[in-house]
A = this chain, B = another copy of it.
């Protein structure tokens, strides 16, 4: 059994880790930290975990984490930078779900997150935990930077086209929408049900923190010499709990038949356990991946006009955060990659 600790356990990504690890056959959560909820039983805060989790929250002292095999950070950005180095020194592997180690370019990180980066050298060593791109590096990594939710949905959606250099990479458009759980478990007026139910709006359209991560990730998969991907990214807030839908538009370079387009995607993801390319003409639904580690995709060329449309759905808390973190753990520890991640979505 892999001994797991979770730092920052009172938010939604922490809760989702607990839910997934509660039924994982090869992992056991031995500590979960929260300063504000110290000594309170986890199942008191999250009643769905009654009979599944007997732990109480503890303080994030190094000695509470030191006998673990792996520590997940489910903390706000900025928190992991200070706490990760002593863990790595003791040989404990770290999977960070926050944004702390996602960007290689430190000035970019500091500009978007508005603070000085506390561990710039580590940011160069961290492996970006998108298995569909980085599986081999993940297997040998000490520190994983788990991708953000929007970046996961958007990268998986465009990777086949960008790897094949088949679209104009400068004028990419990503119109994406997320369920409200993406904003976290914080008590803000802007997040209450009465403000968001029966409503839809964009937010941060002039610039969202996931933009540099998306462009960094897309650029990495482009062939040498290609113009680096430049994306107009418009996030929206959905009146629902879980799910991200990315509507991706790109101008085709050269002609591609519908069959070739479909084949490009099917071939790219044929061996991926968690990317499911839907039949031609399909529209993926967010609910079909709720609670799962799946990304469902479809691709088409509306009216045959040269604009390629990809639609990509994930669960923002699952493939967009905690389930992808568990997938990374499975890879790092040599387990079957799908272990503990096989349940289909609860539908309806």
Chain A residues proximal to chain B, CB less than 8 Å:
12, 15, 19, 22-23, 46-52, 171, 173, 175, 177, 179-181, 183, 185-203, 205-207, 211, 230, 232-234, 236, 238-243, 245, 247, 249, 251, 276, 278, 281, 283-292, 296, 300, 302-303, 305, 307, 309, 311, 313, 342-348
Contact = CB atoms under 8 A, between A and B. Distances in A.
Most buried by B among A23, A251, A344: A344
Contacts of A180: 192-194, 197
B198 A52 contact: no
Contacts of A49: 344
A284 B343 CA distance: 25
Given A177-B200, A307-B171, A189 B187 contact: yes
One complex includes copies of this chain to the number of: 4
Contact of A309 (B188, B199, B205, B288): B205
B240 A239 contact: yes
B241 A194 contact: yes
Nearest to A286: B200
B192 A245 contact: no
Most buried by B among A171, A193, A234, A281: A193
29 contacts: A12-B194, A19-B344, A19-B347, A47-B284, A50-B276, A52-B344, A171-B171, A173-B307, A177-B177, A179-B194, A180-B192, A181-B348, A187-B188, A192-B192, A193-B195, A193-B241, A198-B287, A198-B290, A199-B240, A199-B243, A201-B285, A201-B313, A207-B302, A232-B309, A234-B249, A238-B239, A241-B348, A242-B348, A291-B346
A55 to B, nearest CB: 14
Nearest to A276: B50
Given A51-B276, A194-B185, A251-B171, A348 B201 contact: no
Contacts of A203: 283
| Nearest 6 pairs of A and B residues by beta carbon | A175-B175, A291-B346, A48-B345, A199-B287, A187-B189, A180-B193
A347 B177 contact: no
A290 B206 CA distance: 25
B194 A189 contact: no
A31 to B, nearest CB: 19
A105 to B, nearest CB: 16
Given A241-B193, A309-B205, A302 B232 contact: yes
Nearest to A318: B346
Contact of A303 (B193, B206, B278): B206
A231 to B, nearest CB: 9
Given A207-B302, A302-B206, A309-B205, A48 B242 contact: no
A347 to B, nearest CB: 4
A249 B232 contact: yes
Contact of A23 (B19, B202, B281, B343): B343
Contacts of A46: 347
Contact of A239 (B171, B188, B197, B211): B197
Contact of A189 (B186, B292, B300, B313): B186
Contacts of A12: 194, 348
A49 to B, nearest CB: 6
